[in-house]
Structure 1
Amino acid sequence: MEYFKKILRFAKPYRKYGFLNIFFNILYALFSALSFAALIPMLDVLFKPKAKVLKEPIYTGIRHVKDYLQDYINYRVTEYSGDDPMKGLILVIGLVLVLFLLKNFFNYAAMYFITFLRNGVLKDIRNQMYHKITELPISYYSEKRKGDVIARITSDVLEIQHSFLSILELIVREPLTIVFTILIMFSFSAKLTLFVFIFIPIAGAIISRIGKSLKKKSDRVQKEQGEFLSIVEETLGGLRVIKAFNAESRFYKIFTTSTERFFKFSNKLLNRQNLASPTGEFLGILVIGVLLWFGGKMVLVDKTLDPSTFIAYMGLAYNILTPAKAISKASFGVKKGNAAAERVLEILETENPIIDKKDAIEKNVFENAIELQNVSFKYEEEYVLENFNLKVPKGDTVALVGQSGSGKSTIANLVTRFYDVNEGAIVIDGKNIKDISKKSLRNLMGLVTQDSILFNDTVGNNIGMGKENATDEEIIEAAKIANAHEFISQLPDGYNTNIGDSGNKLSGGQKQRISIARAVLKNPPIMILDEATSALDTESERLVQDALEKMMLHRTSIVIAHRLSTIQKASSIVVLQKGKIVEQGTHTELLAKKGVYRKLVEMQSF
C-alpha cells in the first residue's frame, strides 16, 4: 500500500472524476442488489396468484421494511393488473428490465469518469518521469541501461494503470455490491446468510495464498523486459558495426537468451495469476452448492423459507461471486503493480545531486575569466584531476591537449556543470558556478562535441534548438557562418529536409557543421569545443575548421583538441598528462621547449 499511496498523489488533479465514479458506483451497487430482489414479486405473480395484496400496506418501521416493500410492490401489481395476471407479469418484467437498465447505465457512467482519472494519471506519471530523466545528471546514465529506463516509462507505467488504477474502480463498486447484496440477503434469511459467511474467509485464505509470490515474479518479468529493450536499443545504435563484423548471430543469441528468460518468468507469473480465477469460481460454486442444499432443506423440509424468496436469494448469492472474483483478481494486480510502481518510483525519487541553490543567482554576462581552482574530481575510485588550476581570460582561446584519459573532456564536463567537482571550485567572474543557476550558466556557453548529436527532425529545427523562436533569417545566417548553407540549399527540401535518426542522412562533416550552426545561433560568450574535428576527413575538416574560427572570433573558447593542426592559433595551449598540467604556452613556445607537446606534434606529422 506504500507504493499505492505514492502513486495515488498523481490522482489529485482528477479527483472530481474520482468522486463522480464513486457516486455512480454506489448507485450501481445498490441497483445491482435491487435488480435481483425485484425478481420476488415477479415470481409471486407467477407462482402465487392467490397471495395478492388488495389493501395498501402501512409502513411500521425499519425492522419490517422488507415485508412492507414486498407487499407494496405486490399491491401495485395487483391494482394495475386487476383480474388479468399477464398484465401484472408484464409490469413486473418491465420493473426488472428498468432496474437492470439503470444498473448498467450507472456502471457505464462510473467507468466513463474513471477513464479520465486513469489516463490523466498515466499522462502525468509519464510527463514527470520524462522531466526527471532529462533533469538527472549524465552520471546517472553511466550506471543505467537506456533500455531499462525506456521499459520503466512504457510498460511499467502501463502496468500501474492496469493494476493500481483498476483498483480505484473496485475499491467502491465491488465491496459495496457485496455489502448491499448481503444486507438484502440478511433481510431474506439471516440463518442462510450466516452460513455463507463461514465459507467466505476460507475462500479468501486460499486465494491469498496463491498470490503471495506474485510481486517477486512480476519484478523479474519487468527487469527482463528492460534487459531485452536495452539489447534492441544497442543493436539499432550499432547496426553498422554488427553487420561489418558479421556479429548478427552473436547478438541474436544474446537477445533470444533474454527472451527465453522472459518467456519462463512470464509463464510462471501468468500461470500463478490464472490460477486465481478458476479457484475463485470453483470456491464460489461450492458455496452456491452448499446454499442449494441448506436453503433447499429450509424450503422443502423445514418450510421456513418461501420458494420465490429462495430463488431470488440464490440470484443474490451468485451476484456476490462476480465482485468477489474481481476483488481477488485485483489483489493479484496490486502485487504486479507494486513491482512496477517500485521501479517507476525509483526514478521519480532519485535525488539529483546537481541542483540549484535556493539563492542561486542569474548570471547573463561574462566579463573577466573562468578559473579552475585546486579542482579534484573522480568518476569512481581513481582521481581524474587532482589539485588542478587553470585560468581562461575573456577573449582567449585555451586549447587542452594530451593523450586519451588525461582529463581533457572531464574539464568540459565540469565547466558546463554536467558533473560537480569533488574538491576545489570552478569560478566565473569571481562567482562559484555552484552559486549560479544551471540555466543561466549554460546560457553563457555553447557546446560542439566530437559526436554531432542531432535529432530526427528538419535541418531548420535542429539548428533552431540554439535559440528559442529563432527566425528563418537568423537560422540561415548561422548556417552561412558554419559553412553549411550551401549544402543545405541543395537538399531536397532545403531547411525543411528531415535528416533522419541521429542525422544519419547526412555525412559526418555536414552533421558537424549543423552542430556548429546551432552553437553559432545561440551566440554565447563562451565556446567549448570537444574534439570537434577529430572524426572528419581532410576536406570536411577544412570547412569545419574555417567555420569554427569564424565562430570563435571575439569569444572565449576552451578547445579540446585531438588534431594539433587545428589549435596553432590558440592564445594558450595546455598539455595534460594524467590530470596534471605538464606544459603550457603558445604553439611556438611549446615547440621551442622540445618537450611533450613537440613529441605529440612530431608523431602526428609523421
Structure 2
Amino acid sequence: MNNFKRIFPFVIPYKKYAYMNILFNVLYALFSTLSFVSLIPMMQVLFDQTKKNTVMPVYKGIWELKKYGEDYLSYYITHTTDTFGVGRTLTIMVVIIISIFLLKNLCDYLAMFFITFLRNGILRDMRNAMYKKTIELPLAFYSEKRKGDVISRISGDVNEVQTSFLSILELIVKEPLTIVFTLITMVTISVQLTLFVFIFIPVSGYVISLIGKQLKKKSTRAQEEQGIFLSTIEETLGGLKVVKGYNSENYFNRVFQESTQRFFILSNSIGNRQNLASPASEFMGIMVIAILLWYGGHMVLIDKTLNGASFIAYMGLAYNILTPAKSISKASYAIKRGNAAAERVLEILDQENPITSKIDAVEKSTFESEIAIQNINFKYEDETVLKDFSLTVKKGQTVALVGQSGSGKSTIANLLTRFYDVNEGTIAIDGVAIKDLNLQSLRGLMGLVTQDSILFNDTIKANISLGKLDATDEEIIEALKIANAYEFVKDLPKGIYTNIGDSGNKLSGGQKQRLSIARAVLKNPPIMILDEATSALDTESEKFVQVALENMMQNRTSIVIAHRLSTIQKADLIVVMKKGKIVEQGKHEDLIAMNGAYNKLVTMQSFE
C-alpha cells in the first residue's frame, strides 16, 4: 500500500468527488440492506403472520429500538388493514419496496458518476506529470532506458493505477459497508444463523489470498514485456528504411512475435488466476447458504424459533453478501496489478534529475565576452571522453572542432548546452559557471543545429517557431530566406503552413537541414553550436546549407563541430582533437604549414 500512499497526492485536487462517492456508497450500502428488510412485513402480510397490535408503542430508548420498530410496524399494519383493508396495506408495502430499490440504484449511479471525474482526473494528471518528467530527465537516462518502455508506463501503467484506485474505494467503502450493514441486520434477525456467515468470511478470504499469490510479480513481468514490444514498434518504425533495405522484415517479425507470445502466456496466467476468484468465492458462498437453508429450515419448521417471512428475508441478506465478497476478491487482484504498475510509474516520477537549475540560479540574457572551458574531464559511464580539456572562445569568433570519430567533438556541444554535466573542471560564460546559470536562460543563449535534422510531424511554421513561439509569418519567412530555404518552401502547396510529415520525411535531407538552420536563425541566439551540420548531405545540398550557415554565423559567436574540413577553412580558430585532448590549434593556413595532424586529415579528405 506504500505505493498508493505515494500516489495519493494526485487524489487531493479531486477530493470533493471522493467524498461524494463515499457518501453515496454509504447510502447505497444502507438501502441495499433495507431493500431486503422491507420484504419481511410484505411477506408477513401475504402469509397472514403479522402480530396483531392495536396499541401505539412508546419509544423507551435506543436499546429497545428493535422492539419499538417491530411493535410500531405491527401497529401500523394492523391499523391500516382494519381501516382500509389488506389491499391498501399491500399497495403501501409495494410502493415502499420500489422506493427503496429506486434509492439504492440511484445512489449506486451517483457514486459511479462522481468517481468517474476522480478516475479520469487522476489519469490526466499522472500522464501530464509523467510526460513532464520524461522531457525534463537528461539524455543520459534514455541511453539506459528503452523509449517504448517509457511509452508503456505513460499509457498502460498509468491507466492500471487509476483503475486500481477505483478498486480501493470500492474495497474500503462500498462493498465492506454493504457486508457490515447486512451482517448487523442478520444478527438482529438470528444470532445463531449469523455464526455460520462469520465462519465463511475468513475462510473465503484465505482461499482468495492463495489464488492471488504471485499475481503482483507476474503483473510486473507482463508490463515490462509490454514495454519491450512497444520499443520494438518504436525502433522498427524509426528505422523502417533499414528494415526494408536489408530484407529484415522476418527478423523483426520474429522478435516482435516472441515478445507478444511471452506477453500472451503471462496475460493468460494472470487472467486465469483472476477469473478463478469469482467462481471460487461464489461456490463457497452457496455452500454456506445450503447449510443455512438446512439449519434455518429446522429453526422454522421444527424448533419454531424463527418465522418464515424473517427466514426468507434472512436468506436474501445472506446472498446479498456474496456480490460484495466477489467484488472484494476482484478488487484485491486489481490492487495487486495496480501496485505493480504503481512501482513502474513511481520509478520514473522519483527519478532524480541531476541537471537542474539551482534555487538561486543566475538569469542571463546577453553574451558579453567569452566562453571559458577550463580543465574539464568527462566520461560516459566508464568510458573517458575528455581529459583535462581547456579552450577559450571569444565573442564574435568562429571556432571549429575537428578530429576523427570518437575524439570528443560532439561531447563539447553536449556539455555546453548542459545535456550532460562535466565530471571535473568548469565551463563558464562571461565568468559565470554554467551550473550557476538558470538552465532555460543558458539554453536561451544558444542555437543548436545537429547532424540529424530533428523535425516534428507539424507545419513548417510550427517547426521553425519552436525558439520563438510568437513569431509572425514575416519573421519566419525572413529566417527561411537567411537559411536559403524559402526558395523551396514558397513552392509548397500551403507554403509555411505545409505539414512536413513524421520527422519531416516529405522533404529531402538538405531541405530538412535548412529548416533546422532557419529554426536557429529565428531564435537569434548570440551563441551558435553547429554539430556536424553538413556531414549527412550530398555535395549540392551541402553548398546550399553552407551558404545558409555562413549567413547565420555573421556577427555571432559560433562553435562548429566539423567532419568536412572544407566547410571550416574560414574559421578564426581550428582546434584539432584526438582521444579527448587538443593536439593542435590555429588558423587553417598555420595548421597546414605545421604539417601535423590537421594536415593529415585534410590530405585524407582530399584523396577521398
TM-score, normalised via structure 2 length: 0.98
In the other structure, the counterpart of 1:62 is 62
Q: Counterparts in 2 of 1:292-307, with a 5 A limit? A: 292-307=293-308
Is the contact made by 1:357 and 1:437 (CA closer than 8 Å) also made in structure 2? yes
- TM-superposed deviation, 1:83: 5.3
Alignment partners' CA distance in 1, 2:169 and 2:84: 50
Q: Counterparts in 2 of 1:273-422, with a 5 A limit? A: 273-422=274-423
- TM-superposed deviation, 1:231: 0.4
Deviations 1:500-557 (A, max 9, x none): 1111111111111111010001000000000001111112111111111010001100
Larger displacement relative to structure 2 (186-195 or 28-37): 186-195
Deviations 1:144-202 (A, max 9, x none): 00000000000001111222332123321111111111111111111211231122111
Tell me whether 1:72 sits opposite 2:67 in the alignment. no
Q: Counterparts in 2 of 1:244-263, with a 5 A limit? A: 244-263=245-264
In the other structure, the counterpart of 1:468 is 469
Q: Counterparts in 2 of 1:200-279, with a 5 A limit? A: 200-279=201-280
Is the contact made by 1:568 and 1:587 (CA closer than 8 Å) also made in structure 2? yes
Flag the 1:152–1:50 CA change in 2: closer, same or farther, 3 A. closer
Larger displacement relative to structure 2 (54-63 or 319-328): 54-63
In the other structure, the counterpart of 2:590 is 589
Tell me whether 1:7 sits opposite 2:38 in the alignment. no
Is the contact made by 2:371 and 2:430 (CA closer than 8 Å) also made in structure 1? yes
- TM-superposed deviation, 1:78: 4.0
Could you say what secondary structure the match of 2:467 adopts?
coil
Q: Counterparts in 2 of 1:542-557, with a 5 A limit? A: 542-557=543-558
Could you say what secondary structure the match of 1:490 adopts?
coil
- TM-superposed deviation, 1:124: 0.7
Alignment partners' CA distance in 1, 2:44 and 2:593: 115
Is the contact made by 1:34 and 1:99 (CA closer than 8 Å) also made in structure 2? yes
In the other structure, the counterpart of 1:570 is 571
Q: Counterparts in 2 of 1:104-143, with a 5 A limit? A: 104-143=105-144
Question: Which amino acid in structure 2 is aligned with residue 51 of structure 1?
Answer: K
Larger displacement relative to structure 2 (317-326 or 126-135): 317-326
Alignment partners' CA distance in 2, 1:165 and 1:173: 11
Deviations 1:315-367 (A, max 9, x none): 11111111111111111111111110000000000001112112111011111
Question: Which amino acid in structure 2 is aligned with residue 400 of structure 1?
Answer: L
Is the contact made by 1:178 and 1:320 (CA closer than 8 Å) also made in structure 2? yes
Alignment partners' CA distance in 2, 1:16 and 1:573: 65
Mind listing any 5+ residue stretches in structure 2 that lack a counterpart? none
- TM-superposed deviation, 1:583: 0.7
Could you say what secondary structure the match of 2:570 adopts?
coil
Is the contact made by 1:26 and 1:176 (CA closer than 8 Å) also made in structure 2? yes
Question: Which amino acid in structure 2 is aligned with residue 10 of structure 1?
Answer: F
Alignment partners' CA distance in 1, 2:18 and 2:66: 33
Larger displacement relative to structure 2 (53-62 or 39-48): 53-62
Question: Which amino acid in structure 2 is aligned with residue 55 of structure 1?
Answer: V
Is the contact made by 1:78 and 1:88 (CA closer than 8 Å) also made in structure 2? no
In the other structure, the counterpart of 2:20 is 20
- TM-superposed deviation, 1:266: 0.9
Is the contact made by 2:44 and 2:50 (CA closer than 8 Å) also made in structure 1? no
In the other structure, the counterpart of 1:519 is 520
Identity %: 67
Alignment partners' CA distance in 1, 2:84 and 2:402: 109
- TM-superposed deviation, 1:79: 3.6
In the other structure, the counterpart of 1:45 is 45
Is the contact made by 1:398 and 1:570 (CA closer than 8 Å) also made in structure 2? yes
- TM-superposed deviation, 1:566: 0.5
Could you say what secondary structure the match of 1:375 adopts?
strand
Flag the 1:139–1:50 CA change in 2: closer, same or farther, 3 A. closer
Question: Which amino acid in structure 2 is aligned with residue 414 of structure 1?
Answer: L
Is the contact made by 2:200 and 2:285 (CA closer than 8 Å) also made in structure 1? no
Is the contact made by 1:156 and 1:343 (CA closer than 8 Å) also made in structure 2? yes
Could you say what secondary structure the match of 1:404 adopts?
coil
Could you say what secondary structure the match of 1:465 adopts?
helix
Alignment partners' CA distance in 2, 1:277 and 1:65: 38
Could you say what secondary structure the match of 1:20 adopts?
helix
Q: In angstroms, what is the RMSD of aligned CA positions?
A: 1.2
Could you say what secondary structure the match of 1:275 adopts?
helix
Larger displacement relative to structure 2 (217-226 or 85-94): 85-94
Alignment partners' CA distance in 2, 1:368 and 1:106: 71
Deviations 1:130-152 (A, max 9, x none): 01001000000000000000000
Alignment partners' CA distance in 2, 1:420 and 1:161: 36
Could you say what secondary structure the match of 2:500 adopts?
coil
Is the contact made by 1:114 and 1:169 (CA closer than 8 Å) also made in structure 2? no
Larger displacement relative to structure 2 (506-515 or 58-67): 58-67
Alignment partners' CA distance in 2, 1:72 and 1:147: 68
- TM-superposed deviation, 1:62: 2.4
- TM-superposed deviation, 1:71: 3.4
Is the contact made by 1:77 and 1:92 (CA closer than 8 Å) also made in structure 2? no
Alignment partners' CA distance in 2, 1:256 and 1:314: 52
Could you say what secondary structure the match of 1:231 adopts?
helix
Could you say what secondary structure the match of 1:536 adopts?
coil
Alignment partners' CA distance in 1, 2:267 and 2:437: 49
Deviations 1:404-424 (A, max 9, x none): 000000000000000000000
Larger displacement relative to structure 2 (48-57 or 466-475): 48-57
Deviations 1:259-313 (A, max 9, x none): 1111111111111111111111111111111111111111111111111011111
Is the contact made by 1:41 and 1:70 (CA closer than 8 Å) also made in structure 2? no
Alignment partners' CA distance in 2, 1:360 and 1:590: 40
Mind listing any 5+ residue stretches in structure 1 that lack a counterpart? none
Alignment partners' CA distance in 1, 2:390 and 2:271: 60
Deviations 1:1-56 (A, max 9, x none): 00011111210011011111111111111111111100001001100166343333
In the other structure, the counterpart of 1:453 is 454
Larger displacement relative to structure 2 (77-86 or 564-573): 77-86
In the other structure, the counterpart of 1:433 is 434
Alignment partners' CA distance in 1, 2:463 and 2:121: 31
Alignment partners' CA distance in 2, 1:307 and 1:67: 19
In the other structure, the counterpart of 1:598 is 599
Could you say what secondary structure the match of 2:357 adopts?
coil
- TM-superposed deviation, 1:58: 2.3
Q: Counterparts in 2 of 1:136-175, with a 5 A limit? A: 136-175=137-176
Could you say what secondary structure the match of 2:427 adopts?
strand
Question: Which amino acid in structure 1 is aligned with residue 581 of structure 2?
Answer: K
Deviations 1:115-139 (A, max 9, x none): 1111111111100000100100000
Alignment partners' CA distance in 1, 2:152 and 2:249: 24
Question: Which amino acid in structure 2 is aligned with residue 7 of structure 1?
Answer: I
Could you say what secondary structure the match of 2:389 adopts?
strand
Larger displacement relative to structure 2 (441-450 or 109-118): 109-118
TM-score, normalised via structure 1 length: 0.98
